[in-house]
């Protein structure tokens, strides 16, 4: 097949869509498909409307003879691709990933509204730009041949809010490593997310971590460290492999790559209750309420005890779920024919 991957970001950019695009590109190329990628590069130097027009022209150039166009967001790549496909009389497969509108609202306002509550409680507070994102993003979702979700959690929310046709939807779960050799932790550091976004809830995490340090000292346990540093993907996975634990307290993480990376490396994790992968991780997760600092403190203190950490490590290493890039690529091609 001739395939075009339309994505806002691509390595060396850091982020889930960048890794998703790169791995699908490599997987499909190995299988003999002719694959192209359309990502924002030099277009970023221009103002928003101009850069979107330039990206639209890139989709026209690269996608005119494509058998499959896969879009990896709901806004920056999706809207120009929708307009280009209308002109070319084509359809595309749109994979949602996160939610640009909710993330943008939280970044603009600092209002830490849970993802699951956003559409039912904050629509009247949207800015003019955010209303445009809601309108055009919704059209991009509805125009797609198929909308691919990574979790039923997001699917249920989007289907209602954006009035999506249930027959034009599929679920393709996120990547989860085949199991690798498990390593013992090097020190007592907790790995947190790499992106400094308000919805990642890093400030509350830092406050909770400082309080947890005091409680840990009272219990006579060794001190712990919090690592919020940025890293390219491969280095980040290595960091997770040798971490004492992974911690994610975001106010909505639909299908967090970091938790699947922890599963792949056998590293215990503390994770937000506001996630779409509860069904996959419930037997091994230490869940926290992301808006309850005391809950976060208590769970950090609990897993800081090596005995409890060892219990959780065994639970994580017992998770059998594996979802390879080859499986994901095959599933996406299959749904493109729906």
Q: What is the pLDDT of residues 144-182, one digit of tens each?
A: 999 999 999 999 999 999 999 999 999 999 999 888 778
For residue 128, what is the enclosing H or E element?
helix 128-143
Cα separation, 267 vs 281, in Å, equals: 13
Question: Contact at 8 Å (CB) between 266 and 316?
Answer: yes
What structural domains does the chain harbor?
2-175+324-336 (3.40.50.2000), 189-317 (3.40.50.2000)
Q: In what order do the strands lie in the sheet with 286-288?
A: 225-227, 189-191, 245-248, 269-272, 286-288
Q: Is 54 strand, coil or helix?
A: helix
What pLDDT digit, counting tens, does each position of 243-298 carry? 999 999 999 999 999 999 999 999 999 999 999 999 999 999 999 999 999 999 99
**Whole-number pLDDT of residue 205:** 96
Separation of CA 32 from chain center = 28
**Whole-number pLDDT of residue 16:** 82
**Whole-number pLDDT of residue 70:** 98
Q: What is the CA radius of gyration of the chain?
A: 21
For residue 268, what is the enclosing H or E element?
none
Cα separation, 269 vs 81, in Å, equals: 37
**Whole-number pLDDT of residue 231:** 67
**Whole-number pLDDT of residue 194:** 63
Cα separation, 185 vs 191, in Å, equals: 12
**Whole-number pLDDT of residue 250:** 96
Cα separation, 192 vs 183, in Å, equals: 19
* Dihedral pair phi/psi, residue 307, rounded to 5°: -65, -45
Dmax of the chain from CA atoms? 67
Q: Which residues of the chain have pLDDT under 50?
A: none
- DSSP output for 60-102: HHHHTT-SEEEE-SSSTTHHHHHHHHHHHT---EEE--S-HHH
**Residues in CB range of 201: below 8 A, 6 or more apart:** 112, 249, 250, 251, 272, 290
* Residue 35 zone, left/alpha/beta (φ > 0; ψ -120 to 50; rest): beta
Surface-to-core class of residue 115, CB atoms within 10 Å of its CB (0-12 exposed, 13-18 middle, 19+ buried): buried
């Amino acid at each position: 097949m001739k395939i075009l991957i339309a994505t806002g970001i691509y390595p060396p950019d850091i982020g889930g869509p960048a890794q998703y695009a790169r791995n699908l590109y490599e997987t499909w190329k190995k299988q003999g498909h002719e694959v192209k990628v359309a990502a924002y590069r030099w277009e970023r130097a221009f103002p928003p409307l101009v850069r979107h027009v330039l990206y639209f022209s890139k989709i026209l150039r690269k996608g005119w003879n494509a058998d499959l166009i896969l879009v990896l967001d709901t806004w920056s790549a999706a809207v120009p691709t929708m307009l280009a496909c209308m002109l070319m009389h084509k359809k595309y497969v749109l994979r949602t990933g996160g939610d640009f509108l909710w993330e943008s609202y939280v970044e603009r306002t600092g209002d830490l509204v849970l993802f699951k509550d956003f559409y039912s409680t904050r629509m009247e507070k949207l800015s003019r730009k955010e209303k445009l994102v809601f309108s055009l993003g919704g059209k991009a979702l509805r125009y797609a041949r198929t909308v691919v979700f990574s979790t039923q959690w997001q699917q249920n929310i989007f289907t209602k809010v954006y009035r999506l046709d249930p027959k034009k939807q599929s679920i393709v779960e996120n990547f989860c490593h085949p199991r690798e050799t498990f390593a013992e932790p090097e020190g007592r550091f907790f790995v947190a997310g790499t992106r400094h976004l308000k919805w990642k809830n890093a400030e509350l995490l830092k406050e909770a971590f400082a309080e947890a340090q005091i409680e840990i000292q009272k219990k006579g346990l060794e001190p712990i460290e919090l690592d919020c540093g940025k890293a390219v993907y491969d280095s980040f996975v290595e960091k997770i492999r040798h971490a004492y634990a992974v911690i994610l307290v975001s106010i909505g993480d639909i299908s967090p790559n970091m938790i699947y990376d922890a599963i792949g490396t056998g590293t215990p994790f503390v994770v937000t209750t506001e996630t779409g992968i509860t069904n996959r991780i419930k037997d091994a997760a230490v869940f926290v309420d992301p808006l309850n600092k005391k809950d976060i403190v208590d769970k950090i203190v609990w897993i800081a005890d090596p005995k409890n950490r060892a219990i959780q490590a065994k639970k994580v290493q017992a998770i059998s779920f594996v979802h390879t890039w080859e499986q994901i690529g095959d599933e996406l091609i299959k749904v493109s024919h729906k």
